[in-house]
Amino acid sequence: MAKNEENIGILNIFASYNNTIAVITDLAGNTIGRVSGGQVTKHNRMKANPTIAMFIAKRIQEFCRDYKITSLYVQMKGQTGAAGIGPGANAIVRTLTKEGFKIISIAETTSIPRGGPKKKGGRRGRRV
């Protein structure tokens, strides 16, 4: 390995308004580590909190240190159909940037519902 070569990882963040889950993988997609809000705190109401997201980022930093990862691609995902990404996602990225990680790119990969499943009520709808 050359001295100036940097190890790159992919950080997948799922941030809903109920929980925050972060998964770190290598470029091939092999999982290196996974941390969720429930592993950091035992309070249900706190799992999506930006403060808890800072602790999630610290755990992710430990995984990256073990594998000598210095640069990250970040993929954020919110809950399908929700108003936006949960509050924990930006806090994770902010904390990792302060810790010295180089963020190569940030992408949002939230699924968008396109029609969804068939609504109940039959062909002519609900008749009142």
The one-letter amino acid code at 56 reads: I
**Average pLDDT over the chain, rounded to an integer:** 90
Q: Which of 97, 118, 98 is nearest to 106 (CA)?
A: 97
Nearest to 33 by CA among 72, 3, 1, 5: 72
If one compares 60 and 5, the residue with the highest pLDDT of the two is 60
Q: pLDDT per residue over 79-107, tens digit each?
A: 988 888 999 999 999 999 999 999 999 99
Rounded to the nearest 10 degrees, the angle between the axes of helix 88-98 and helix 50-66 is: 50
The domain spans of the chain are: 29-108
The average pLDDT across 2-20 equals 86
* pLDDT at residue 63, as a whole number: 94
**Tally of CB atoms within 10 A around 97:** 14
pLDDT band at 1 (very low <50, low <70, confident <90, very high): very low
CATH architecture of the domain 29-108 equals 2-Layer Sandwich (3.30)
Q: Which pLDDT score, from 0 to 100, does residue 4 have? A: 61
